[in-house]
Amino acid sequence: MPQWSLPPSLVDLLVCFRGCFTAPTFKTFSWLVAGFLAQPRARTVCGMLAGARLAGRWHHGRAHRFFAVARWSPDQLGLALLALICARLVACDSPLRLVVDDTLYRRAGRKVWGASWHHDPLAPASKGRKPVAWANCWVVVGVLVHLPFVPDRAVCLPVLARLWRPRQPGRSKLDLACELVGLICARFPDRRLHLVCDAAYAGKALAGLPAQVTVTTRLRCDAALYHLPPPPTRRRGRPRVKGERLADLEVLAGMVATPFALHRVARYGRLGIAAVAHFTCLWPSVFGARPVHVVLVRAPDAPDGFDLALVSTDLAATAAQLVCRYADRWPVEVLFEESRQVAGVGQARSRTRRAVERTVPFGLLCLSLTVVWYALYGQPAADVAARRALAPWYRDKHAVSFADMLVALRRVILAAQYYQVRWSSPLQQKSSRCSVPGPPPQHELRKSSDQRWSRSVVFRCPASEPFGRRGRHLERQVR
């Protein structure tokens, strides 16, 4: 192991994952996490070693074997992370708010396992060229938390991720999402879960989720809705499982009988007025015989029609709460942008199956650990003040960003590699001390036997450079 150490605040979080690894693998995991967070450039596997200052001490095969050969499960690691988030950032009696969505991490090379052509909305569109990208597609489940230093919106922390490959029967994106949610339900059997997803995840597999999960998603315009089943008539034959079919949503929104009312709702950090109508019905093609709430939203001055249609299995929630809950899904899009542009997730150049399936969940874990660490040990007021002092024209900044959190943790990791400055006499100096020019403070001066004054600062050099950059330790004395 290297002679320097990790900061105690980060070690306090990494200890929660000790049960997911063997003792040697846990050491590798801890230093790769530190290298991933401390690396300002490419977060490749070798880049993690360079960020941890282990490039000259460890062989690069040790890091590659951690992802490609070592025995550990990304799902078990994600569940341990979720337990840490629930213990530190979520109240014990509050339900977990989960968000599921998929994103692309671009790759290069034909031999990358699981990579294929996908529709990429971020690709530059040009005439005669489709917006596609050669990438890995990941289905990600994140948990929403409210942090006091980010008051405008919730923060999405990724916990579980699963690689999706096209043309795999029974392994659609919805199937993978339900599988990940099922793992969370098995880990927290007594906790209520609120799952939010977009219209792409509205399918029959949602009906197989446990009863502790409520689903809120966007309703398709062509959804076949039905009235609730009528009461039993005590006649012979099978009782009806659904009532008469309702009209299309466009017709329902234009009917006078549809009760639209004005509600004050918070959407995307803004509080406004919206016309909302809601009713209870059945959507048999997706949720079977389970009753659902349908919510129609439109502008307050709109005469008819609707702008957004939502469906939810949470019958205890109000219409305004369902609108706010679906609007809180947007932080997952912010998460994907920050993971690619700021955190550097997906930059590893792994090709084998195990390595590809582990590098992205590992990077998302580091992203969540950064936010959790900052929520416990960060100084948001000081960081915002420092940022505004450097850029006084940036007057709209009132909350820290993920980039600020990552910089704060990176500074703590780098500072943990050195001892604190201390003053001593020449007789107490050792070979591992380096002088600092300038007169020492008067109250800390110590007079040596030869009537000379000196001071030195003690630091610990890395094992890869045992004698410093210039070949040996230099020591100067100020007389």
**Structure confidence by residue, pLDDT tens digits, 322-372:** 999 999 999 999 999 999 999 999 999 999 999 999 999 999 999 999 999
What is the per-residue DSSP string for 7-48?
Answer: -HHHHHHHGGGGGGS-HHHHHHHHHHHHHHHH--S---HHHH
pLDDT of 461 strictly over 60: no
Neighbours of 116 (CB within 10 A): 16
Report the C-alpha gap between 421 and 411 in whole angstroms.
17
Report the C-alpha gap between 225 and 213 in whole angstroms.
22
pLDDT of 210 strictly over 60: yes
Which DSSP letter does residue 244 get?
P
Report the C-alpha gap between 64 and 352 in whole angstroms.
11
Once rounded to an integer, what is the mean pLDDT over residues 155-180? Answer: 95
**Structure confidence by residue, pLDDT tens digits, 81-122:** 999 999 999 998 899 999 999 999 999 999 999 999 999 988
Q: Dihedral through CA 353, CA 356, CA 357, CA 361, nearest 10?
A: 170
Residue scoring higher pLDDT (427 or 289): 289
Considering the chain, what is the average pLDDT of its residues? 85
Report the C-alpha gap between 385 and 402 in whole angstroms.
16
Residue with tokens 């936010």: 371
Look up the pTM and report it.
0.84
Tokens of 230: 């009528």
Report the C-alpha gap between 356 and 98 in whole angstroms.
25
Please give the angle made by the CA atoms of 91, 95 and 99, to the nearest 5 degrees.
115
For residue 310, give the nearest of 144, 321, 270, 300 by alpha carbon.
321
Once rounded to an integer, what is the mean pLDDT over residues 64-72? Answer: 96
Give the chain's end-to-end CA distance (angstroms, integer).
39
Residue 3 is predicted with a pLDDT of: 53
Q: Helix/strand/coil (H, E, C) string of 81-104?
A: HHHHHHHHCCCCCCCEEEEEEEEE
Domain ranges of the chain: 8-74+373-415, 419-479
Neighbours of 93 (CB within 10 A): 7
Residue 259 is predicted with a pLDDT of: 85
Give the SS3 label for residue 369.
helix
For the chain, give the longest Cα–Cα distance. Answer: 113
**Which helix (H) or strand (E) element contains residue 52?**
none
Q: What residue type is assigned to position 429 of the chain?
A: Q
